[in-house]
Amino acid sequence: MEITDYPLLLEKASEAMQNAYAPYSRFKVGAAVLGSKGGIYAGCNVENSSYPVGMCAERGAIAAAVVAGETQITALVIVTDTDTPCPPCGMCRQALSEFDKNMVVFMVARNGVTDVSTLKELLPKQFDQTLLNH
Ligand code: THU
């Protein structure tokens, strides 16, 4: 990731958060991912009256990146309007690990309070395709 990518990732994730559809939890999440081809793709959480049907912001952003032909994601920014940074849920960690275990994950809270981790730190010993024996 180039240092110059970060401001745009933050902007796209923040914009996405504004559009989050979260009438049930009232917890809005925005995400933006950086593909290895250089594109930036955003996602927001999209809830549903049938609660388990809801989708996290991170997996929405992954889907947008894949639609655009990306198969590697090198960085992710997650934005929430919270006092402390919001790490990705377990299901999203597994989904993200498909696209680069060395991904850098920035978690940005209100007033810019930021935490940063690698995906490896967030999900050590992940399930991956090398375990599939076919
Ligand atoms: N959520 C995300 O979009 N990403 C996360 O990493 C954590 C949780 C959403 C799911 C649900 O719409 C709301 O936040 C509350 O759990």
What is the 4 CA–ligand 1 centroid distance (Å)? 27
Tell me the three state secondary structure of residue 119. helix
Instruction: Encode pLDDT of 34-62 as tens digits.
Output: 999 999 999 999 999 999 999 999 999 99
DSSP 3-state of 26: coil
- Give dist(CA 131, CA 134) in Å, integer: 9
Q: Is 16 a pocket residue for ligand 1 (Cβ < 6 Å)?
A: no
Superfamily of domain 6-132: Cytidine Deaminase, domain 2 (3.40.140.10)
Position of tokens 């793709």? 41
**Confidence label for 133 from pLDDT (cuts 50, 70 and 90):** confident
Which ligand 1 atom is the nearest neighbour of the CA of 44?
3
Query: Quick one: which of 119, 93, 120 has its CA closest to 106?
Result: 119
- Distance from Cα 127 to the centre of ligand 1, integer Å: 22
Structure tokens at 42: 């955003």
Tokens of 46: 């999209």
Q: What is the mean pLDDT of residues 8-18?
A: 98
DSSP string across 47-64: --SSGGG-B-HHHHHHHH
Q: What is the pTM of this model?
A: 0.96
Q: Which of 2, 15, 58, 121 is catalytic?
A: 58
- Domain spans of the chain, in order of start: 6-132
- Spatial distance between the Cα atoms of 94 and 119, rounded to a whole number of angstroms: 9
Identify any residues that bridge with 117 across adjacent strands, giving them in sequence order.
Answer: 105
User: Annotated catalytic, 98?
Assistant: no
pLDDT digits (tens, 9 = 90+) for 77-101: 999 999 999 999 999 999 999 999 9
